[in-house]
């Protein structure tokens, strides 16, 4: 039984299928083993070790052959996971092909296996994550398109302000997600590279063949060869953390917005209910924002984890003491949480239920005073801005006190009706008429999305 | 198979026996089940439910009866772990005693089970942690006592300064550990309390019997009854995080100090080697500071996790959305890491090897110029402070340039020898003679420690 | 002009009078100067320096005599603020009393002045902060007492749940504030101590008089004398950060709760308006939650700053490199932000406007289905729990669909009316009747508060 | 006097000229005023307001015309800085040209001025920062080139390992800096854009002219026009924080490496001394690593600040409550600290003193056992890897015990000399001969640097 306080119980709530298979212990082992197998093949290719040895090594490079508990014991002693793994691998290979054992891990250091293995894991993770980003973008684009005219209160400082459309909200979310996709792609080009440096980063134990082996190895793994080994420079790793942090922030904002819209008193949008999802038999009126809670929890946890990976960058000389170790559990955790947030938010977005009638009702609820700016706009050309401003201000306050509408209140005074007809006033106070450039903004975002899709 | 990226592989390196058994999923379930069993007993005691039902419920409250994977599915849907657990428990109880099922979880809400269960877990954790703190304190006290006169360079800004004793270093670590023990004990008194409030924190579904049940329940669990339910006030939880954060900081400082002392060029102290621990067959001169790395990794990770729990305190109304969820994996992780850091550092301290000769050699290495202040002190009464200062400064620079000792350099000039004999100078420049109040400070700390022990 | 990006512009919004005068540059200088003056007096008292020199030194220990820009230049070169300050002080003293200059800072090191000066600043800060905590507690106690029966929806996951009273909310806030006061007082006892250790923490340059001087100095400054100098052990500093972090978390929760209550669609509570405070002339219906925004901003910023101070604890040997420096701006910033959050939240709480009618209206708005649990509770004894549950569930859903009340819906079916009269049902569904132990809980908290006051 | 705890005292130590002038309060005001002036010009250009009004407005848009203390008072009331600034600007304009006042800020909202003003500040900041990155890169390239053959111990886990060259260390630092430059440039393209949305982000108060004004305004400010207003989407801001966080991490690693090399016991590299910089008259042997301390302090502080900005991304609806406010002081602080770290590290790197002789001496100090791997490499082809390994291991341990060299120890046994001559052994154990691909790696990095320079 594991001593680790990790939670299988919570893995489905906070995690995602995307993170399964590429972030756990088995994947960690397989990443290192894929490195070892490829190293042997590369060294065989350049003639440093026998081809048969490479084959013998490759045969044992399967994570399921290794005993986690035993490797955990070895890790405690050695201070990293590669030392006991290489030792166990060497035994397996040697048992199968006595002459091949000594070619295992030839010329490499623990960190080469660990870092390159990690990069392989991250390549797979990136694929899954990108697919989920695309899925979310598609759902958001549909919402933006569909709800271009679903008018609802804009809300600033949590107070109703001039109206917006729900499509504009969705377009704002989409626009941000597109930037995250771009960031991930820039990271990909910079970070999916080989780590191979030997004991101190010079590949000295390979004599003058180091670069040749490195090139062959990078071809075997289909990873770019960086200018030099990067074992003690963790910016590529921390950059992924940062990109995930930014992504989690936007997902958290979506979760916050959706959960606020789902409030009993607002009730404008709802996560899909599914079978028993977020519902309460005791309180059948409740529709708990579960996906929003997941996204908000992630947005709460992620900044601290990103900070850890930034803090861990300060690594000593040719191999860090503590800073490197701090990455080993933090990065997979971070990656898993963000994948989970994205997965649950994509699902929620695809099934999001919108109550456009309630949106309009909320806008009307306080006598429509959220349209005060619109009223001022229609009066200003006739009365001058300052006077229009003052009249609307007074009317708004009176409307709130008397529980009448702003329209009614304005239309009841000759100061206004002498200049604008009630019908014109009513038209101006129609929320859907006061959306400004909302539709144009939505179209600009959708154009970028369609471009991307093509 | 779990989707969680938790690492069994790393559990021994970063964790501790103290965290085993009280922080994992099974412990989480058992905590909630202990709450449910005690709730049933308490309600039977005050006559709210039949005694037999309480017995039937109690019989099923064993974590091993539940299927983690199934609970994980239910958790994803419900948004917390208690809903599927209570539902599964109800089925089990009902299957065994058909009439008893409806008395499961009577009057409670999910968070009551989760929070009170957590408090039970933390009580056990606290016991283990405190034992390890005591163990570390004992080892530090021994070091402080033993090395009261083991003189080594003080180091400020990583530069040699006036000497200290190794006992003073140990006393400083010990003094801080004693403060942590006090903080933990203050937290204990404040935080090991029952959570029981029902749906919104009023216990309304128990009619006018709420307080009575709460009192009986707190007796059953041997937890104090707080002034009111605290479900949305997480300061007790975050305070533990903070105390652990402070502890991790001191352990990290110890790890930093020890790893610096273990540097090849310094070589004044060494973690115990153990069988294969931190050694490298390829580089037999290496003695890797594994425990220090663990403590430094913990000190790198912990601040971000503490920040998460502080950030999570901002919870909405009567139950938080995201902030509460952010605690569920973060607190056990934090607790496990700190227990691991403490455990490894206690072990390393107990076996710490000190090379007092090397300490003296390092002090002497740069011609003993680290004693410049001592030289000034002996000359000042005779020459006046400013002149003494200047003479010693000049001599120190010359000593470094000519690779002679400061003693030799000073003793070669009549400006000095006219006032102080070479023998007096030599005595003043003896590092062990320039330890000021070090021994007295050590005694003050040890006195507090002995007090504590008694 | 200062190069620092600090903001006078924002100092009133984010800061507090409490922080004025004890956290800025002048206060920092004065703290160090108070240390220097007291050191001279202490050394004169024990006969180490002439009494007249102590007087001469004391005369120049006024912050306003020093030029900040010049000290800033010196700080860049020396790496700390005490070196240029001591140098400037020595010049001032020497100009006034030629013989006294050499007694300035005698036997002390820069960190002694900086840390002890900081402790003096924090003592003053603590006084102001504690006063504001008390002020907030008083305001909260009044709210708890006054609104014991102001019933409003409980809200979990941002969904309406069983009702609570506003007094219970206030009591929950108060209860947490009282714990913060206790934490602060525990910190005070542990941390308001002298730092005095000389170059490496042994006071060696004072020969065998070190402890004697330290005792005299601690009496002069009215600070306790710790077991040993603590220059490289920063847990006392980081503990204050942690306590402030916990405080900021509760204030943030208050800010979140209040801002949610102030939403246009909820409108149950309002920050005091004041002259132009949080209002908008363009949108007269708006009442922006400015104090809540300040508290939420603080709660967002504080966790990262606490993390910094925890991370900074890992300090090397006898004086840290970077970790110590990281404290210098972070701690005052943190202290200022938390004081600001407290100050603004105390002010807002004192003037908080409660709309109890709106609270009841919100409870009634969805047909009163938030009382579903109460309905179940009244039916369960007659129908059995499971059937009661099902009937109420069905009725709730129907009430929501048909926009009727839960009472009406339940009362229209013979399945219910056969067992409970409409009048009994109506009584049970009266929110004020379903507050369980709320009043008792409030009383428990108020009792603790009154105890404290006495 | 300001209530803010900002420190002019520390501004030179922690800050940089790069941050002066573009991050302080005056720059903040000027950014907003530049926005207001440009808005007026743009609106005049499209015919929305009179050209003369635009001129009158432009004339008053100078930061020095405004009173900080008065604006600070207004900020406390209004909750942001733009409201009092626009109000003061309107008064100034009105006093000068009575008809023009009402055209101030026409169609804009506070956040438009604040965010676009911030972008203008950041554009200037980015210019300064990029120049300092280039300066540091140039200095690093020179070090890499010059010290291609300056051999020193590689150090892993702070233990000596196979040798590296100092040029390789410098190349590693340079390689990372080049990635930071690329990240900054990607950010620049994404983030230096206009914010202009009006009250809720629709520009509704400009009727159907919104996009036209936005386009004219973006031309006036020479900022790209984004797809839609981004007021509540802060990823562009947080991304800068992340990029600065990564940069600070590398600078912190440099600071850590340099400070470790500067240790009294290592003494391989030194920050430039300058006049009084980092030196101590009392301890003339000390050369305090001041720039390293600055970089390490920054690396300690920055992760928490980045976390704050990530956490702040969760902003409600059309304008955040707390999250946005959390940016206002955090971002300038972060930007200033990183600029300071970069500035001081660039200066230190340009003047870095290298003691190549001491590097070789340190490698030789422990009998040259750091070359154990090299010895194994030369013996393996003759003796087989396992036996070579065992022999070298035994010899290394013996060398350490007997304080002889590894060469001597190996050469004294026939097991070795039967296969390899002493001369060959000596050649193999020559550190400079065991640098593997170090020079090739350096060249690869320099080629990328030269490419960049061209």
Summarize pLDDT for A382-422 with one digit per residue, the tens: 888 888 888 998 999 899 889 899 999 999 988 888 889 99
Average pLDDT, chain C: 94
- For residue D13, the model assigns a pLDDT of 96
Both ends of chain D: CA-CA distance in Å?
A: 50
Determine the average pLDDT of the residues in C358-368: 94
On whether any CB of chain A is under 8 Å from the CB of C263, the answer is yes
Q: In chain A, which residue's Cα lies nearest the Cα of C388?
A: A282
Determine the average pLDDT of the residues in A75-80: 95
State the Cα–Cα distance between residues B85 and C78, nearest whole angstrom. 62
- For residue C281, the model assigns a pLDDT of 58
Nearest 5°: phi and psi at C287? -130, 90
Contact B308 A300 (CB under 8 A): yes
Q: Is D357 exposed, middle or buried (0-12, 13-18, 19+ CB in 10 A)?
A: exposed
Smallest CA-to-CA distance from C331 within C178, C125, C134 is with C125
pLDDT at D61 exceeding the cut of 60: yes
- For residue C2, the model assigns a pLDDT of 40
Q: How many CB atoms sit inside 10 A of residue C208's CB? A: 11
Structure tokens at A223: 């990873």
Residue among C28, C287, C319, C398 flagged as catalytic: C319
Measured between beta carbons, the chain D residues lying within 8 angstroms of A180 are 235
Instruction: Categorize the per-residue pLDDT at B284 as very low, low, confident or very high, splitting at 50, 70 and 90.
Output: low
Contact A102, D387 (CB under 8 A): no
Q: How many CB atoms sit inside 10 A of residue C95's CB? A: 10
State the Cα–Cα distance between residues B180 and B346, nearest whole angstrom. 15
pLDDT tens readout for residues A98-127: 999 999 999 999 999 999 999 999 999 999
pLDDT tens readout for residues B170-216: 999 999 999 999 999 999 999 999 999 999 999 999 999 999 999 99
Contact B153, B163 (CB under 8 A): yes
Q: In which element (H, E) is residue D18 found?
A: none
Q: How many CB atoms sit inside 10 A of residue B75's CB? A: 25
Give D253-287 as a DSSP string: HHHHHHHHHTSTTT--EE---TTTTTB-SSSTT-B
pLDDT at A1 exceeding the cut of 60: no
Q: What CATH number does the domain located at D360-433 have?
A: 1.10.40.30
Please give the residue that has the higher pLDDT: either A41 or A381: A41
Does A62 qualify as catalytic in the annotation?
no
Instruction: Categorize the per-residue pLDDT at A3 as very low, low, confident or very high, splitting at 50, 70 and 90.
Output: very low
| Residues in contact with D452: Cβ distance below 8 Å, sequence separation at least 6, in sequence order | D137, D178, D181
Instruction: Categorize the per-residue pLDDT at C43 as very low, low, confident or very high, splitting at 50, 70 and 90.
Output: very high
- For residue A22, the model assigns a pLDDT of 94
Dihedral sign computed on CA atoms, order A340, A342, A343, A347: positive
- Spell C367-378 as b/e; 16+ CB within 10 A means b: bbbbbbbbbbbb
Q: How many CB atoms sit inside 10 A of residue A291's CB? A: 29
Please give the residue that has the higher pLDDT: either C371 or B452: C371
The residue behind tokens 């386009």 is D215
Determine the average pLDDT of the residues in A442-447: 98
Average pLDDT, chain A: 94
State the Cα–Cα distance between residues D206 and D107, nearest whole angstrom. 6
On whether any CB of chain B is under 8 Å from the CB of A125, the answer is no
Determine the average pLDDT of the residues in C43-69: 97
By mean pLDDT, which of B111-115, D46-50, D332-336, D397-401 is the weakest?
D397-401
State the Cα–Cα distance between residues D286 and B235, nearest whole angstrom. 46
Q: How many CB atoms sit inside 10 A of residue A441's CB? A: 30
Nearest 5°: phi and psi at A164? -130, 180
State the Cα–Cα distance between residues D239 and A239, nearest whole angstrom. 10
User: Where are the domains positioned within chain A?
Assistant: 11-354, 360-433
By mean pLDDT, which of B309-318, B406-415, D318-327 is the weakest?
B406-415
pTM: 0.97
Residue among A280, A382, A385, A412 flagged as catalytic: A280
Nearest 5°: phi and psi at C200? -120, 5
* Helix pair angle (D438-453, D110-146), 10° resolution: 130
Determine the average pLDDT of the residues in A222-235: 98
Determine the average pLDDT of the residues in B130-139: 98
On whether any CB of chain C is under 8 Å from the CB of A304, the answer is yes
By mean pLDDT, which of A160-169, C128-137, C285-294, D74-83 is the weakest?
C285-294
| Residues in contact with D40: Cβ distance below 8 Å, sequence separation at least 6, in sequence order | D49, D53, D54, D57, D58, D103, D104, D106
Determine the average pLDDT of the residues in D38-42: 98
Dihedral sign computed on CA atoms, order D249, D254, D255, D257: positive
- For residue D410, the model assigns a pLDDT of 93
Q: What percent of chain D has pLDDT over 90?
A: 85
State the Cα–Cα distance between residues B292 and B284, nearest whole angstrom. 19
Dihedral sign computed on CA atoms, order D346, D347, D350, D356: negative
Instruction: Categorize the per-residue pLDDT at A281 as very low, low, confident or very high, splitting at 50, 70 and 90.
Output: low
**Architecture of the domain defined by B11-354:** Up-down Bundle (1.20)
pLDDT at D385 exceeding the cut of 90: no
Interface test with C, best of B252, B441, B450 (most C CBs within 10 A): B441
List Cα–Cα distances, C184 to B228, C127, C177, D78, D174, in angstroms.
21, 10, 11, 32, 47
Both ends of chain A: CA-CA distance in Å?
A: 49
Bridge partners, C156 (sequence order): B319, C159
* Helix pair angle (B372-383, B385-402), 10° resolution: 140
Smallest CA-to-CA distance from A225 within A251, A249, A197, A204 is with A197
Give C109-147 as a DSSP string: -HHHHHHHHHHHHHHHHHHHHHHHHHHHHHHHHHHHHHT
Question: Which of D8, D79, D282 is the closest to C25 by Cβ?
Answer: D8
Determine the average pLDDT of the residues in B64-82: 96
Q: What percent of chain A has pLDDT over 90?
A: 85
Contact A201 D168 (CB under 8 A): yes
Q: In which element (H, E) is residue C159 found?
A: strand C159-165
Smallest CA-to-CA distance from A307 within A254, A255, A244, A256 is with A244
- State the nearest Cα–Cα gap between A286 and chain C, in angstroms: 6
- For residue A344, the model assigns a pLDDT of 97
Instruction: Categorize the per-residue pLDDT at B401 as very low, low, confident or very high, splitting at 50, 70 and 90.
Output: confident
User: D353 by DSSP, 3-state: which?
Assistant: strand
pLDDT at B368 exceeding the cut of 50: yes
**Cα angle value B66/B71/B72 (rounded, 5°):** 135
From chain C residues 129-188, the ones with a CB under 8 A of any chain D CB are: none
On whether any CB of chain C is under 8 Å from the CB of B257, the answer is yes
- Spell D409-427 as b/e; 16+ CB within 10 A means b: bbbeeeebeebbeeeebbe
Contact A235, A190 (CB under 8 A): no
- For residue A4, the model assigns a pLDDT of 42
pLDDT tens readout for residues D114-170: 999 999 999 999 999 999 999 999 999 999 999 999 999 999 999 999 999 999 999
Residue among B28, B41, B234, B319 flagged as catalytic: B319
Measured between beta carbons, the chain A residues lying within 8 angstroms of D434 are 202, 204
Structure tokens at D236: 């562009």
| Interface ipTM above 0.90 | yes
Both ends of chain C: CA-CA distance in Å?
A: 50
Instruction: Categorize the per-residue pLDDT at D280 as very low, low, confident or very high, splitting at 50, 70 and 90.
Output: low
Measured between beta carbons, the chain C residues lying within 8 angstroms of D17 are 3
Q: Which long-range contacts (CB under 8 A, 24 or more apart) does A132-135 make?
A: A132/A16, A132/A18, A132/A339, A132/A342, A132/A343, A132/A346, A133/A177, A133/A180, A133/A181, A133/A184, A133/A247, A133/A342, A134/A181, A135/A346, A135/A350
Distance of CA D446 to the CA centre of its chain: 21
- State the nearest Cα–Cα gap between A199 and chain D, in angstroms: 7
Instruction: Categorize the per-residue pLDDT at B282 as very low, low, confident or very high, splitting at 50, 70 and 90.
Output: low
pLDDT at D5 exceeding the cut of 50: no
- For residue B3, the model assigns a pLDDT of 39
Average pLDDT, chain D: 94
Give CA torsion, residues D393, D394, D397, D402, to 10 deg. -140
- For residue C6, the model assigns a pLDDT of 64
Does C319 qualify as catalytic in the annotation?
yes
pLDDT at B27 exceeding the cut of 80: yes
pLDDT at A5 exceeding the cut of 50: no
Question: Which of C159, C265, C281 is the closest to A286 by Cβ?
Answer: C159
Contact A233 D257 (CB under 8 A): no
Contact A168, A431 (CB under 8 A): no
Bridge partners, A353 (sequence order): A270
pLDDT at C284 exceeding the cut of 80: no
Measured between beta carbons, the chain C residues lying within 8 angstroms of A376 are 282
- For residue B6, the model assigns a pLDDT of 64
Beta strands in B289-425 (DSSP E): 353-354
Instruction: Categorize the per-residue pLDDT at B4 as very low, low, confident or very high, splitting at 50, 70 and 90.
Output: very low
Contact B223, B188 (CB under 8 A): no
Of A428-432, C285-289, D194-198, the range with the highest mean pLDDT is D194-198
Instruction: Categorize the per-residue pLDDT at C352 as very low, low, confident or very high, splitting at 50, 70 and 90.
Output: very high
State the Cα–Cα distance between residues A48 and A41, nearest whole angstrom. 10
Contact A73 B12 (CB under 8 A): yes
Contact C28, C121 (CB under 8 A): yes
Contact D71, D92 (CB under 8 A): no
Average pLDDT, chain B: 94
Give C247-263 as a DSSP string: HHHHHHHHHHHHHHHTS
Q: How many CB atoms sit inside 10 A of residue C350's CB? A: 15
Determine the average pLDDT of the residues in A11-35: 93
* Helix pair angle (D166-191, D235-261), 10° resolution: 170
- For residue D6, the model assigns a pLDDT of 64
From chain A residues 306-345, the ones with a CB under 8 A of any chain C CB are: 307, 311
State the Cα–Cα distance between residues D385 and A102, nearest whole angstrom. 7
Query: Identical fold at C11-354 and C360-433?
Result: no
State the Cα–Cα distance between residues C30 and C24, nearest whole angstrom. 10
pLDDT at C320 exceeding the cut of 80: yes
State the Cα–Cα distance between residues A118 and A231, nearest whole angstrom. 12
Residue among C280, C385, C397, C412 flagged as catalytic: C280
Instruction: Categorize the per-residue pLDDT at D283 as very low, low, confident or very high, splitting at 50, 70 and 90.
Output: low
């Amino acid at each position: 039984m594991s001593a680790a306080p990790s939670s299988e119980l919570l893995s489905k709530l906070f995690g995602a299928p995307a993170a399964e298979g590429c972030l756990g212990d088995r994947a960690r082992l397989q990443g290192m083993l894929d490195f070892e197998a490829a190293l042997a093949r590369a060294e065989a290719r350049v003639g440093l070790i026998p081809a048969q040895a490479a084959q013998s090594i490759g045969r044992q490079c399967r994570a399921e052959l290794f005993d986690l508990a035993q490797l955990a014991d070895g890790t405690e002693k050695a201070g990293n996971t590669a030392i006991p793994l290489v030792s166990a691998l060497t035994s397996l290979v040697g048992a199968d092909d006595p002459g091949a054992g000594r070619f295992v891990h030839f010329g490499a250091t623990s960190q080469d296996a660990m870092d390159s293995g990690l990069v392989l894991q991250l390549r797979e993770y990136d694929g899954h994550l990108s697919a989920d980003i695309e899925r979310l973008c598609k759902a958001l684009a549909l919402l933006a398109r569909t709800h271009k005219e679903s008018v609802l209160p804009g809300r600033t400082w949590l107070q109703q302000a001039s109206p917006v459309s729900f499509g504009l909200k969705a377009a704002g979310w989409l626009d941000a997600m597109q930037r995250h996709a771009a960031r991930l792609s820039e990271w990909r080009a910079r970070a999916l590279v080989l780590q191979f440096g030997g004991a101190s980063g010079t590949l000295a134990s390979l004599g003058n063949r180091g670069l040749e082996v490195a090139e062959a190895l990078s071809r075997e793994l289909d990873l770019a060869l960086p200018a030099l080994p990067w074992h003690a420079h963790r910016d590529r790793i921390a950059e992924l953390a940062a990109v995930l942090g930014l992504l989690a922030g936007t997902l958290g904002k979506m979760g916050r917005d959706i959960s606020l819209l789902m409030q009993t008193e607002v009730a404008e949008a709802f996560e899909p209910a599914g079978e028993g999802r977020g519902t309460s038999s005791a309180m059948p009126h409740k529709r708990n924002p579960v996906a929003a809670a997941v996204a908000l929890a992630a947005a709460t946890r992620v900044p601290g984890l990103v900070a850890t990976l930034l803090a861990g960058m300060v690594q000593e000389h040719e191999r860090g003491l503590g800073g490197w170790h701090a990455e080993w559990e933090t990065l997979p955790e971070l990656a898993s949480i963000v994948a989970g947030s994205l997965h649950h938010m994509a699902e929620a977005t695809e099934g999001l239920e919108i109550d456009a009638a309630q949106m309009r009702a909320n806008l009307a609820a306080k006598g429509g005073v959220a349209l005060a700016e619109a009223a001022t706009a229609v009066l200003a050309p006739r009365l001058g801005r300052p006077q229009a401003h003052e009249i609307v201000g007074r009317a708004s306050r009176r409307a709130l006190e008397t529980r009448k509408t702003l329209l009614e209140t304005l239309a009841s005074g000759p100061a206004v009706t002498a200049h604008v007809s009630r019908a014109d006033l009513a038209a101006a106070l129609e929320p859907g008429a006061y959306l400004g450039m909302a539709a144009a903004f939505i179209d600009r975002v959708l154009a970028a999305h369609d471009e991307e899709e093509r």
